[in-house]
Amino acid sequence: MTTRWKEEKAQSPQTLKSNAFSFQSRKQSKMSPLPVPEDIALQIASFLQVPDLCSLASCSRLWRELCGSDCIWESLVRDRWPSLELSDGSSSSSAIKKPMSMGWRCFYMELHNEKAARATSVVQFVETCSSSVSLEVGEYQKAMQDLHALQFGYQDVQMFLFKPELTVLVNLLGLHYCMNWLRVPANCVLKALESRKISERQVCVKWWKLGRWSHGFRMRDELLSRRFTLIDVGLAKQEEVLAVLHRGAIHEVLRVQICVADPSSPSWSCQSADRRV
């Protein structure tokens, strides 16, 4: 899991000290003492990502209990899913309610497993629709809306959609979602693409525009194409393409198709077929 792209917000010393005292009161006498004071240990653990936190928890029973503290996992839940509406009993009916008997660590794992299952359904939808190596823009937009409805966070996209073994169309979907819906900073997106080794994967987008009128004659419909890499999108070099994908087939645009680029074909950026009928 990559580092959090939003600025870290450390918990207040009073909150950490209170949790440390609560933790210390539960400590069993036969356990070995921590190498640092409990409040400092809790502060250290609060800055770790989930894999590192789990590794630290495996060091001893005392570390395991500390790393399972609700204050740490509640912060991880809210950091990973900042747009998630959590119910406190008085929130709207659409809010997600954490069972009172469930700790924040278990709640985090439950949400993670739920997002993983739903990500699989989105991936399967895209792969089924693009079985002929192309995807229509309506299907692409539906998958994008599904991600938004499922309240996917940036870390969800990195874990479930930025996989090199998936089709590049899924990678593009996750990238576009991060940029348009989540507003993830470009430097964080580029770093994620590089770390996942998908930055140089290529996509081709084609769209057909209604033929223009000239001297009383309507020209043939125009075919425009763009072939680009995912890193080009991250560097904002393909804003026109993203705008076309966002609008879809409306007004003068008759059809939009997203394809897996053939690396063996020569590079090209635009084709037009203007001819008189």
CA distance 195 to 32: 38
Measured over the CA atoms of residue 128, residue 130, residue 132 and residue 137, the dihedral's sign is positive
- Higher-confidence residue of 274 and 135: namely 135
pLDDT of residue 120: 96
> What residue spans define the domains of the chain?
35-68, 69-82+103-260
pLDDT at 50 over 60: yes
- Higher-confidence residue of 201 and 28: namely 201
- What are the angstrom distances between the C-alpha of 159 and each of 1, 9, 40, 153? 7, 23, 30, 10
pLDDT of residue 94: 56
The DSSP symbol for 116 reads H
Query: For residue range 184-242, what is the model confidence (pLDDT) as tens digits?
Result: 999 999 999 999 999 999 999 999 988 777 777 777 888 999 999 999 999 988 899 99
CA distance 123 to 173: 10
Non-local CB neighbours of 9 within 8 Å, separated by 6+ positions: none
pLDDT of residue 8: 41
- Beta-sheet pairing, 253-260 with 213-214: unpaired
Query: Residue 36: CA atoms inside 13 Å, Cβ hemisphere, count?
Result: 10
* pTM strictly above 0.85: no
Query: For residue range 227-268, what is the model confidence (pLDDT) as tens digits?
Result: 999 999 999 888 999 999 998 888 788 899 999 987 655 444
CA distance 71 to 105: 10
Residues 92-106, mean pLDDT to the nearest whole number: 74
- Tokens 């996509």 belong to residue: 203
- Higher-confidence residue of 217 and 111: namely 111
Query: For residue range 53-83, what is the model confidence (pLDDT) as tens digits?
Result: 999 898 888 888 889 999 999 999 999 998 7
pLDDT of residue 206: 94
pLDDT at 27 over 60: no
pLDDT of residue 88: 59
- 37 touches 30 (CB < 8 A): no
The top-scoring range by mean pLDDT among 75-79, 85-89, 150-154, 162-166 is 162-166
- What are the angstrom distances between the C-alpha of 45 and each of 33, 73, 79, 179, 272? 16, 10, 15, 30, 58
Counting residues of the chain whose pLDDT is more than 70, the rounded percentage is 79
The least confident of 93-107, 121-135, 190-204 is 93-107
